[in-house]
Structure 1
């Protein structure tokens, strides 16, 4: 019975195969439902990326059929297959393997329905095989291309082509960790459909173009880890849809523009490691959706009191380390109930710490080291135990912890214990000491660290005399 069912299945499969083959017809043009020029352009473009050894001879019945090219996707337009995506590089185990010396062939720009083009870890040798992105022909893809990405290609050098500015349908432009350099083309600001612009980890120089403020649909904007300079353009206030803004690790200078308050949807603002100055602008208070604010390693200066921190009630990460802050730490920070990380280290902060900081329910790391904070830490012992080394208060010379902590394991690292309080004697007490009335003044002796019943002989009287002179 089982043999009969198997034979029946085989016959049915053969019948379906023959029916499909007959529908395609006998001619070669009918067997391959792909426009001839499209197929030739695809094969030539792929050979440029993977090497001339590849010829597609193993594909059946066409490059988009049962055995498609790895990394290539297709779709049907007017009854014919057309290429819609090319992804070159080791993104998956079976992806197209890049040739040692890749080349961009002009046939790439003949793929008139191409929506996605990406290269990952292909151009790897800036010395032996440096390659530049072609400047010409990008306008041919203006009617279709929506995503263009070059990731982790250190051998990809030169400038960003101005032709990118003609890709009017582009929604994602990602050029991350390549060897690109030069100034950013201002006409990228023409790409009004962009939702993601990531140009991080290159060698870009010059200013951020004012035209970038026209990208009103932008959600992700990342120019980090370059050598960009100049001030932040006020036009950035036009990025009203923006969720994430990362300009960290550049050489940007000047004040934060007041227009930054227009970014009501912003959840991340990372400007660390620049040369920004001019104090904390009140405009930050308008970023009501902000979850991460990182301004560390700048020359900003100013005081924490200038900001009403309770307005930023969504903050999870607040890192203002090493920005030249002065003054006291306001209690309003203790109202940030979602805060998990608070970094205020390496500033010039003064005054006493409010015990209310320990009441933050989500706080997992608090760094106050490298300031001029004073007084006794008022946090409960359980707070030190929970935070461990994630509580940093060292290098505050006049800060101390109470000697009553039960366990050495919870002693805050690098903080000295508070001295016991010394009680100064009234002037007439000197007469009582001279008369040997020690019992009435045993509290004074104890305050110096000696037990009252341990005093014996003239040597101790002399020692006490020296202490009295020192205090008076």
Structure 2
């Protein structure tokens, strides 16, 4: 959560900037309509030919008619003196189709903007390189693909060229660009430039180049060996999202007389920050975040006298923050969080920071130690200060911050009472996160202004009846979207005041002392996406009114005293997570649960459920198919809050947050279920965790269980299962937890490195079962009963002349590597457990965290 906040200001920048841009655009196009110049007939016919080749879904070219003067057509500007078309503003028009070569007849066209359209991954027209009058060419985000044509290098008058966000563009070299002698603004963002190793030398030869944007271009070197790079006019350099993987070169110090903005974040840069970077005396924006930079922050940071935004977050920087930071009197945004910085931060670090608005210090072992009567020189909008030491007393300096919009102060060691002024001290606050402290507060004292959208007070010592908070008149105009008061000391009944809380998206009141039925009025929460009432004393039926909450994606009512799983549960077709464990449910598992095709977690463990397992589980496509839509569905909630769920995937309870997206789990353990395991369960090829233990299941383990290739944990213990272990189980190569103990299984355990890696306790209690790792050897009769060509290494070896003929060299090499694992059970088990944990870590870290961080971060530097 803190990492996603670290880039929120970029989005806010766009929110501020775009309305101004559109207003100027509107004024511009209105102004052109007052021209009295008549259109040149040749230009008119060229434009009509262009229109015929384009698809115009939004009819933005409806004014382009042969019966009207083309100089008054929408998005067309003519030269007032000669009546020739000089500019075409066709941006963001939903245009597609073919760009006609008739554009070449517009001999005086100097401005062409086709950005924000969709040309269906067609190549950039090569004839654009023959439009020699062009000074401005913008193809941003127009879905062009393929090789960037060398002919564009003929545009010697071009001052502005933007090809950014056409994600399938590439170059074979950049030497053709030498003809762009007048270029001032060059943006090739997201084009693949990795084939050109001399990109830096080529770019540095443009005498007038002022702004260079080569972000996410698959570049791999900044040429650290170069002593000098001749960027004499460069004001903006944006190179984020590449793969440099080396130290920051010293040639950056050559740019001290011109550079205003430098963006190098997310580039795998390493080593120390060279002090020369802080000698760029005119620098206003510097972003070195999301790299692997280490060492101390140089004290020369105080030389950046004009700096406005400074990002050093998400690196490996250590040592203390230098006091010279407090000299940066123009600093507005400071991000130093998610590093290994230590020591004290005090008043001296902020001495002259009167313009500071955005402060991110989260997740660093810092101690924010200021006097109780300190009044900061700044007025913050955003304060991200989670996981740094602020307490034990509640920070009184916050009372002076009248402009604060976001306060992130979780895990900050605050163990005092929340002061009375806190709940009514600013009318601008939208987000409050005080979770994971030891703050005491009576919930009846909480007053929420109408601006608050997120209130997270989880894991504290808030107390009092929940109804006094929910029903007080002073909060009835609230716009709260997230309320997390879990793991506190709240008591009493859930009120009937939910009609005042209809903006709620996430509600978590779990792990309190609530004693209540679920009121029918909760059905008024039509926007609700997650509902957590776990670990209370909630009793009775789940009211049918909750089926009106059709946006629900997560329900956690575990550890309560409820009755039956309602049949209408199948109407919640967007549900992803259903956790009802340990809540005294009785009756059958309704077949209607199979109607929820989006489910990734079904946790009904430790109840009194009876009857059979539904044989329609294969209809839950999120567990049967690789469905990427699940992630987008889950992230469709509130960007600043991630729900957490306690699950037991491998025999131990774990907390899942962002990584919940990766889980595919069915846990029906510790119930009174009977009948057989449905063979259809084998169709759930994406399932990772299956627990059916401690029931009364009979019959055989499904023969095709081996087709569930993603299974990591299978627990079928303490049932009445019979027959042989299916040979296909040998195909479960990701399996790290297996328990088949205390059944009536018989025959030989199939031979495979995987199945033999588990301890004999995982098979114990099956008297007729034999073979490694059990001490009981199989008789000839028992061996013959279990012969199968699938997954049986030893049988295949005995019956295949192909294997007998294998070379001695291969056998020696194979057993040298694998013999220790095969014969040493402890080593085998440790190996597979290690591999399993590494797999989880790589999958979660790569797929979620970095993906979420970069998308928001790019906005400011576009």
Please show how residues 441-460 of structure 1 align to structure 2 within 5 Å. Answer: none
Distance 2:555 2:747 in 1: 40
Q: Give the aligned partner of residue 298 of structure 1.
A: 607
Distance 2:369 2:515 in 1: 34
1:394 to 725, 741, 747: 741
Question: CA 1:384 to 1:53, structure 2 compared with 1: closer, same or farther past 3 Å?
Answer: closer
1:152 to 455, 459, 478: 459
How far did 1:406 drift?
Answer: 8.2
Distance 1:68 1:333 in 2: 49
Unaligned runs of 5+ in 2: 1-253, 258-278, 283-301, 309-326, 331-353, 356-367, 387-394, 396-400, 624-663, 771-777, 783-862
Distance 2:380 2:621 in 1: 52
How far did 1:144 drift?
Answer: 1.2
Distance 1:169 1:401 in 2: 63
How far did 1:195 drift?
Answer: 1.0
Q: Give the aligned partner of residue 318 of structure 1.
A: 666
Question: Is 1:222 the equivalent of 2:572?
Answer: no
Question: CA 1:70 to 1:328, structure 2 compared with 1: closer, same or farther past 3 Å?
Answer: closer
Please show how residues 277-356 of structure 1 align to structure 2 within 5 Å. Answer: 277-304=586-613, 306-315=614-623, 316-356=664-704
Q: Give the aligned partner of residue 485 of structure 2.
A: 175
8 Å contact kept, 1:213–1:236: yes
- SS of 1:332's partner is helix
2:726 to 378, 386, 402: 378
More deviation in 178-187 or 143-152? 178-187
8 Å contact kept, 2:383–2:404: no
Distance 2:672 2:432 in 1: 45
- SS of 1:177's partner is coil
Q: Give the aligned partner of residue 459 of structure 1.
A: none
Q: Give the aligned partner of residue 336 of structure 2.
A: none
1:85 to 380, 397, 406: 406
Question: CA 1:413 to 1:192, structure 2 compared with 1: closer, same or farther past 3 Å?
Answer: same
Q: Give the aligned partner of residue 542 of structure 2.
A: 232
Question: CA 1:145 to 1:348, structure 2 compared with 1: closer, same or farther past 3 Å?
Answer: same
8 Å contact kept, 1:133–1:161: no
Question: What CA deviation, in whole Å up to 9, does each residue of 1:201-247 have, x standing for no partner?
Answer: 22222112222222111122111122211121112211111111111
Distance 1:68 1:171 in 2: 20
Question: CA 1:237 to 1:210, structure 2 compared with 1: closer, same or farther past 3 Å?
Answer: same
Q: Give the aligned partner of residue 119 of structure 1.
A: 434
8 Å contact kept, 2:675–2:699: yes
Distance 2:688 2:303 in 1: 66
Q: Give the aligned partner of residue 374 of structure 2.
A: 56
How far did 1:353 drift?
Answer: 2.1
1:362 to 687, 710, 716: 710
Unaligned runs of 5+ in 1: 21-31, 34-49, 73-79, 92-96, 125-129, 423-472
How far did 1:327 drift?
Answer: 0.7
Question: CA 1:261 to 1:404, structure 2 compared with 1: closer, same or farther past 3 Å?
Answer: closer
Distance 1:121 1:238 in 2: 33
Distance 1:357 1:195 in 2: 38
TM-score, length of structure 2 as denominator length:
0.38
Question: CA 1:379 to 1:151, structure 2 compared with 1: closer, same or farther past 3 Å?
Answer: same
Question: What CA deviation, in whole Å up to 9, does each residue of 1:130-164 have, x standing for no partner?
Answer: 542234644xx1x21111111211x3222225344
The count of corresponding residues between Structure 1 and Structure 2 is 364
Q: C-alpha root-mean-square deviation of aligned residues, in Å?
A: 4.0
Question: CA 1:56 to 1:303, structure 2 compared with 1: closer, same or farther past 3 Å?
Answer: same
Question: What CA deviation, in whole Å up to 9, does each residue of 1:408-428 have, x standing for no partner?
Answer: 936762132377769xxxxxx
- SS of 2:701's partner is coil
Question: Is 1:101 the equivalent of 2:449?
Answer: no
Question: Is 1:275 the equivalent of 2:584?
Answer: yes
How far did 1:81 drift?
Answer: 6.2
Distance 1:271 1:364 in 2: 22
8 Å contact kept, 2:423–2:447: no
How far did 1:181 drift?
Answer: 2.0
TM-score, length of structure 1 as denominator length:
0.67
Pick the structure with greater CA Rg. 1
More deviation in 170-179 or 356-365? 356-365
Distance 2:304 2:604 in 1: 68
Q: Give the aligned partner of residue 196 of structure 1.
A: 506
